[in-house]
Amino acid sequence: MTGKDDDGFPAFVQGWNAMVELKTPAHHARMAGWLEKHMAGQNRRMLLMAFRGSGKSTLVGLFAAWLLLRDPNRRLLVLAADLKLAMKMVRNVKRILERHPDCSHLKPPAKERDQWAADRFTVLRPMELRDPSMAAAGIGGNITGSRADVVICDDVEVPRNADTAVKRAALRERLSELDYVLVPGGAQLYVGTPHAQDSLYAEETDDGSPPFLDEFERMVLPVYTEDSQGNRSYTWKERFGEAHVARIRKSTGPNKFTSQMLLRPVSITDGVLDVGRLGRYDAELEYREALGRAALTLDGVKLVSATCWWDPAFVRPAGEGDGRIKSGDGSVVAAVFAGENEHFYLHRVLYLAVDPRAEETEADQQCRQVSRFLADNHLPAVHIEINGLGRFLPGLLRKRLRDDRLAAGVVEQNSRTPKAERIIKAFNALLADRRLLVHRQVWETPLIREMRDWRPDGRYRGPDDGLDAVAGCLGAEPYRFDRSTNPPERRPDWRGAGAVVAPADWEL
């Protein structure tokens, strides 16, 4: 290194690697140039995704040291899934500053080192600031009083905090606090790999809402890329060549390999309910009457039955989420139709919400929503699970249906089968045969996340209220025999002696 002010970050990386007798991989040079470019740009919100083992955290550590070299007054905050991981980067940056010849002037004398530890340190700087030059914090730590010019989120998403929708929501809520830590005009850098289908790094969401890192500058470096002919180009062929990558794929499984090495947001575990086996459709119900008979069709398919299931519970107020409470069950109503083509259509799933300021009671508000749900979808009846809270609801719903002049039945259901067994029994055969189709609006509800995250073991604590309602619909569907009227083809008797027919001379 020359120590000149105009030396950029790629040159800083080259100089450090030469000092420690290491070569600079081509993808490190690309990442270094990208970081320097966007750090000097207008949008200083960045996401760097690179495959596991690519050395991205090492490079970001050098980036932090270079930032302090260029401006010692900068304050950097490193946030990771736990404090130990964040301290690892801070300790690495501290060692770079101690060893790099161009950074020797930043190390304070021994008698002035009030902060020179593994979790935080302060370099020699012109300004007297309350926050250290660099500090480490875990995602669950208290950073309320901190201020930073640069926030580095290094592997904040890990399997431990991203395996359920509830945990992922809590992670997003925690990370949203960084806007109060970052000073105006500050820089934010996320570094990591996706660990869930709806990862916080995902560029698109299931429900079409803006992604968590919307408008962030993105750099994605998978272990290899493929052209239209299927030819692969490896990012770091010297270390991650074809043979080594094949071993990783074989040992970790396709889902984890796709997530961690190809950087495509998928569930890193094989879910019990495979969302990929669901069909998708956009058509709406068509109701017609002719010659005194009514017909209901969906995308040209005549529907032969409909099932509606309501799994009731106390719900959170409207405007505070999707109708589910943070602890306990949510109130969900679902509708499934069966067609003449032997396919099932999951047409609507509604997560109920209430308004505590309304004059109606919460139960009346839910019954009103269910009544409207039945009317909108031409449903002849609704099954209500009466375990616990639902025991007094059938009477209230019948009254609401009479008031709304809606001819629909109310069937009381008392579930005795364990929930996990009901869900598996309802979904398994239909998913295996790909006979369950889901409307576009249902794909935008929390149901799809529930399907991806759900596990039948007792350790699962995530939401499954939508799954339970849909399972109730599928379980209540009647079994239909083949309506073929063709008589069976008579086959010759293969036994040694055929059936004996007594001779008769009378006419029948």
CATH code, domain with 463:
3.30.420.140
321 and 227, same structural domain? no
Element (H, E) at 422: helix 419-432
Q: How many domains does the chain have?
A: 2
Residue identified by tokens 């002719």 is 290
Same domain, 94 and 216: yes
58/105 same-domain check: yes
Do residue 330 and residue 446 come from a single domain? yes
Pair 115, 237 in one domain: yes
Contacts of the segment 1-9: beta carbons below 8 A, 24+ positions apart = 1/100, 1/101, 1/102, 3/101, 3/102, 5/70, 8/36, 9/33, 9/35, 9/36, 9/39, 9/62, 9/63, 9/66
User: Average pLDDT for residues 439-449, to the nearest whole number?
Assistant: 93
Task: Kindly report the average pLDDT of the chain as a whole number.
Answer: 88
Quick one: 54 and 159 in the same domain? yes
Position 82 in a domain: yes
Q: Distance (Å, rounded) from C-alpha 465 to C-alpha 452? A: 14
pLDDT at 130 over 70: yes
Task: Indicate whether 117 pLDDT > 60.
Answer: yes
Instruction: Flag whether 266 is in a domain.
Output: no
* 458: confidence class by pLDDT, cuts 50, 70, 90: low
More confident residue, 481 or 169: 169
Looking at the structure, do residues 438 and 472 belong to the same domain, yes or no?
Answer: yes
CB 193 within 8 A of CB 259: yes
Instruction: Let me know whether 292 and 394 are in one domain.
Output: yes
Q: Is residue 45 part of a domain?
A: yes
Do residues 467 and 411 share a domain?
Answer: yes
- CA gap 399, 407 in Å, rounded: 11
Question: Is 498 inside a domain boundary?
Answer: no
Span 197-232, pLDDT tens digits: 889 999 988 767 899 999 999 999 999 999 988 899
151 falls within a domain: yes
Backbone angles phi, psi at 353, to 5 degrees: -135, 155
Which pLDDT score is estimated for 67? 97
The per-residue pLDDT for range 387-432, each reduced to its tens digit, is 766 678 899 999 999 999 999 999 998 888 888 888 988 998 898 8
Task: Give the span between the Cα atoms of 377 and 360, in whole angstroms.
Answer: 24
* pLDDT score, position 314: 78
Torsion-angle region of 141 (φ positive above 0: left; ψ -120 to 50: alpha; else: beta): beta
The reply to whether 16 falls in a domain is yes
| DSSP 8-state secondary structure symbol assigned to residue 116 | B
Indicate if the pLDDT at residue 116 is higher than 70: yes
Residue 484 CB partners (closer than 8 Å, separation 6+): none
Judgement on whether residues 208 and 298 belong to the same structural domain of the protein? no
| % of the chain surpassing 70 pLDDT | 89
pLDDT (0 to 100) of residue 290? 81
Query: Is residue 247 assigned to a domain?
Result: yes
Range of the domain at 308: 275-476
State the chain's maximal CA–CA distance in angstroms: 128
* Same-domain pairing of 229 and 303: no
Report pLDDT digits (tens) over 331-374: 999 999 999 999 999 999 999 998 888 899 999 999 999 999 99
Q: Is 482 left (phi over 0), alpha (psi -120 to 50) or beta?
A: beta
Same-domain check for residues 211 and 92:
yes
Q: Is residue 449 part of a domain?
A: yes
Q: What is the pLDDT of residue 482?
A: 56
Residue with tokens 């070569």: 23
Collapsing DSSP states into helix, strand and coil, what is residue 169? helix
Give me the CATH number covering residue 222: 3.40.50.300
